[in-house]
Chains A and B, each alone.
Chain A
Amino acid sequence: NAGVMQNPRHLVRRRGQEARLRCSPMKGHSHVYWYRQLPEEGLKFMVYLQKENIIDESGMPKERFSAEFPKEGPSILRIQQVVRGDSAAYFCASSSSGSSYNEQFFGPGTRLTVL
């Protein structure tokens, strides 16, 4: 049973380009969470999605960031017109349900570097 998969593992973009980060949840999981880890900091919640729905996006920057989790395929975190401050590790986690206890399993992360 494969764990949470993220790709690419490393992504380099120049300022102004777009970054697309992909997350495939564990088999049977329909809830996905995105977190961002800036250098020397802990993880910060960005967005929580179920299939085709955004449940909580309270941690998403208001501009340039968007997320989706389509009926088929992986969840995508999209960053438009990247800036140097977007350089960070982006982690995806999945769970099997939205019930409060359910453990979130983390992917290996995507390290985004903006030149």
Chain B
Amino acid sequence: AQTVTQSQPEMSVQEAETVTLSCTYDTSESDYYLFWYKQPPSRQMILVIRQEAYKQQNATENRFSVNFQKAAKSFSLKISDSQLGDAAMYFCAYKPLVNKLVFGAGTILRVKS
């Protein structure tokens, strides 16, 4: 069975600093997709960034970037120049080719001013 592990229940970062959230996953598939979602207190799920497993280049979206290590089954999220609005729960998710998303338990990110 596919599983997603986020080993950091909670992380803190100073405003304007950089923070990295960890994620590992387990799968026997070779083709799949990986995502990071943000869930603020409103509980709305917001897609932050996505990565196709067949692409070697790491995805980047403005201040958000990933470090995708396929052999190690690792998919970490780096947030640069952290802002107060980045404070939220962050979920790593794996998507096999059968459409359902498999989520990790989440990491709470706190941003200090």
State the majority secondary structure of interface residues on A.
strand
The count of A-to-B residue pairs whose CB atoms sit within 8 angstroms is 58
In the complex, whether A69 has a CB less than 8 A from a CB of chain B is: no
Contact of B100 among A41, A42, A45, A101 (CB under 8 A): A45
Please tell me the number of chain B residues within 8 Å of chain A, measured between CB atoms. 23
Q: Residue A43 at the B interface, CB < 8 A?
A: yes
Residue A59 at the chain B interface, CB threshold 8 Å = yes
Q: Which of B31, B50, B103 lies in contact with A44, CB distance below 8 A?
A: B103
In the complex, residue of chain A having the shortest beta-carbon distance to the beta carbon of B105: A42
Question: B52–A101 contact, CB under 8 A?
Answer: yes
Residues of A within 8 A of B31 (CB): 100
Contact B43 A104 (CB under 8 A): no
Closest to B52 in A: A101
- The chain B residue sitting closest to A42, CB to CB, is B103
Which residues of B sit under 8 angstroms from A111, Cβ to Cβ?
43
CB interface residues, A 32-76, toward B, < 8 Å: 33, 35, 41-45, 48, 55-56, 58-59
- Is B62 interfacial (CB-CB < 8 Å)? no
Residue of B nearest to A9 (CB): B43
Is residue B16 contacting chain A, with contact meaning CB distance below 8 A? no
Residues of the B chain whose Cβ atoms lie less than 8 Å from the Cβ of A106: 44-45
Q: Which residues of chain A have C-beta atoms less than 8 A from B97's C-beta?
A: 100
A89→B101 CA distance, assembly (Å): 16
B45 in complex: contacting residue of A41, A56, A91, A98, CB < 8 Å: A91
When chains A and B are docked, how far (Å) is the Cα of A55 from the Cα of B99?
A: 10
Q: Mark B33-76, 1 if CB is under 8 A from A, else 0.
A: 10000000011110100101000000000000000000000000
| Chain A residues engaging chain B, CB cutoff 8 angstroms | 31, 33, 35, 41-45, 48, 55-56, 58-59, 89, 91, 93, 95, 98, 100-104, 106, 108-109, 111
Residue ranges of B at the interface with A (Cβ–Cβ < 8 Å): 4, 31, 33, 42-45, 47, 50, 52, 91, 95-106
* 5 nearest A-B residue pairs (beta carbon): A42-B103, A106-B45, A100-B97, A45-B100, A43-B103
Q: Known pairs A42-B104, A48-B99. 17 more at Cβ < 8 A?
A: A35-B101, A42-B4, A42-B103, A42-B105, A43-B101, A45-B101, A56-B99, A58-B100, A89-B43, A95-B99, A100-B33, A100-B95, A103-B47, A103-B50, A108-B44, A109-B45, A111-B43
